Structure 1
Amino acid sequence: MSDLVSIPADAPTQGMEPNGWIVVGVPTNFFATASAHARSGPLLGAAAEVRFTPVGFRWDYGDGTSRTSASGGASWAALNLPEFSETSTSHVFEQPGTVSIGLVASYAAEYRFAGGEWRAVQGLVLVPTTPIIAIADRADTVLVAESCSINPSGPGC
């Protein structure tokens, strides 16, 4: 596993909704995108190719809680859900403040030399991302462009 350090896996992209802010007491959606990819470089002193396949995501929400998921989740729009809906990767923050949300993607790795057979690497490759810094605060009211009778799928409807 230590030889893989010279051939790093790509970091996933991550996002949150709402972007950069959190309403205390309602779900905040987090999602990440990572795909299988191969990289070339020296391994055990020879030219090799390493294939990385994402197998898990671990969010550290910055409030003492974390969640591990096999899926990176998706945006509310991609899930066809209204804003502030609960998702498999959402989190409800209970206290106001500034939080640093970290994400670590887990990849299974395989390697091969000179186009030969792929061989599995024991263990997982963990790739952290740059944390998202967000502000959590309470909201008593939410201003929206349209009422729920006009837009039943709008925020808070």
Structure 2
Amino acid sequence: MGRFTSYGAILLLLILQVLLVSRVAAAADEPRVTADRHERQIEVGATFIFNPETGISEPSPGASPAAEDPNQYMADTHCRADGPDTKDPGCDALDCPATTPGGPEGTPVIWKEAPKAITNPGWTNWIPITGPTCLYDPQPANVLADIAARILNDFRQLPINPGNLQAQPFPHTLKGGPTNFYTTATEQTFDVTILGQAIHLTATPANHTYTFGDGTTLGPPPPPGYPIPQTEWLTTETRTSHSYTQTGNYPATITTTFTGTYSVNNGPPLPINGTLDLTTPATTIHVWKTQRALVADTCQQNPNSWGCPTTEPTH
């Protein structure tokens, strides 16, 4: 029994030695070079050279110019200096200062590789091929997913002008009469840089909610409204008009919902999956009441007549 046990141990040891030799030999045959922040290129198979600073893979010198790299590459930005997981042992809060005066900073990344045959690789299919390294001037395709993941937050940080709430008549209107409201919010465009890419954003007012200050609201989605001639202020009722039933001072506001689109490096406009609500500062509406009476004299004939400036107004 002891002899068989010894033979089994020897056999297991021989198997482990064979596996170890095979693993070392495979590693020696592997042409890929691990890059760090100073690495300028990575050999891929001995046919292609991958540049981690730009995300571009090109045929090696002497290879056919028409050759196509069978791999695809992804820049994983989880090692950026401001990321939530800088305690990851593979991350070192890498700084990527600009390489030229006034130029853009780089993005700390770990490059990963997967065969192009996998059309939509999951995270388990990606193989890291570099340590933390700096990405400068990347191809748009390499950062589109990262831009899409953060574009809504960037959109909501834009200095979008919510416009103003306008009322006719203003600042005084009449109890029971139509007061026309409208907004001056307009479409706005912004040009910003995100992850080293030129991004063009468009913010478009889509919906509006009027808050009239007396407990009533209108919308969404009523139209933005429009101004009307002064001769129609007290007689014309628009789709955004409101009639106050009590005298007093009312703080009116309008909340505009903006939708957005963005394009990367003059590419096609892409929708932003989310909206931004902006509310204007309150506009105080003073609501007065009117009274009617029959009078025999004009104010020129009788300055003390009812309704003349010398008499106390009713409001």
Q: TM-score, normalised by structure 2?
A: 0.41
* Residues 255, 277 of structure 2: 8 Å contact kept: yes
Identity %: 22
* Distance in 1 (alpha carbons) for counterparts of 2:184 and 2:251: 19
User: CA separation of 1:45/1:20 partners in 2, compared to 1, >3 Å: closer, same or farther?
Assistant: farther
Q: Which residue of 2 aligns with 1:147?
A: none
In structure 2, stretches of 5+ residues that fail to align are 1-151, 293-315
* Distance in 2 (alpha carbons) for counterparts of 1:118 and 1:13: 28
* Residues 256, 277 of structure 2: 8 Å contact kept: yes
- Structure 1 stretches of 4+ moved >6 Å: none
**Displacement of 1:8 after TM fit?**
3.0
Among 289, 292, 295, the residue aligned to 1:138: 289
Among 241, 266, 277, the residue aligned to 1:90: 241
3-state DSSP class of the match of 1:31?
Answer: strand
In structure 1, stretches of 5+ residues that fail to align are 142-157
* Distance in 2 (alpha carbons) for counterparts of 1:95 and 1:108: 36
Matched ranges for 1:12-51 at <5 A: 12-43=163-194, 46-51=197-202
RMSD over equivalenced CA pairs, Å? 2.1
* Residues 7, 42 of structure 1: 8 Å contact kept: no
- Higher relative contact order by CA 8 Å / sep ≥ 6: 1 or 2? 1
Q: Which residue of 2 aligns with 1:10?
A: 161
**Displacement of 1:44 after TM fit?**
6.3
Structure with greater proportional strand content: 1
Q: Which has the larger radius of gyration?
A: 2
* Distance in 1 (alpha carbons) for counterparts of 2:232 and 2:156: 41
3-state DSSP class of the match of 1:54?
Answer: strand
* Distance in 2 (alpha carbons) for counterparts of 1:65 and 1:45: 47
User: CA separation of 1:41/1:7 partners in 2, compared to 1, >3 Å: closer, same or farther?
Assistant: farther
User: CA separation of 1:122/1:70 partners in 2, compared to 1, >3 Å: closer, same or farther?
Assistant: farther
Which of 7-16 and 35-44 deviates more? 35-44
Cα deviation, 1:27-73, whole Å, max 9, x if unaligned, reads 11101123222112244675422101111211100111101244211
